[in-house]
Amino acid sequence: MKKLLLIAILTVGSLFAQVKSDVEVPYISYQIKMGKGFDAVQANCLMCHSFGYIINQGPQSRLFWDKKVDKMITHFKAPISKEDKVIVVNYLFKHYGNGKLK
């Protein structure tokens, strides 16, 4: 019983815990490389998540980017046309590619 009371006090106590100083949320801005095809990326990719998802992958092969865009289309139902997919993959490979096709 004493244990229960202690747990209850601790739980309720933490509900009223306050932070006195200002809480600062870090702002992260991602460096986006502008270039041919960027508008297609903006229109097709950024509706669901930020550009950070793309940059965090690091430099990758063309096949990798091709498969990533496929994954977005099949798994997450991204409405990306065949034409736009080509533009987006070209853009990603040019700016975030590692020079390898596979």
Q: Is 43 in the site for ligand HEC (CB under 6 A)?
A: no
31-34 contact pairs (CB < 8 A, 24+): 31/55, 33/95, 33/96
Residues near ligand HEC (CB under 6 A), total: 17
What tokens appear for 65 in the block?
A: 């980017």
Q: Is 49 in the site for ligand HEC (CB under 6 A)?
A: yes
User: Which lies closer to ligand HEC via its Cβ, residue 67 or residue 100?
Assistant: 67
Q: Is 82 in the site for ligand HEC (CB under 6 A)?
A: no
Cα–Cα dist 77/73, whole Å: 5
Q: Is 9 in the site for ligand HEC (CB under 6 A)?
A: no
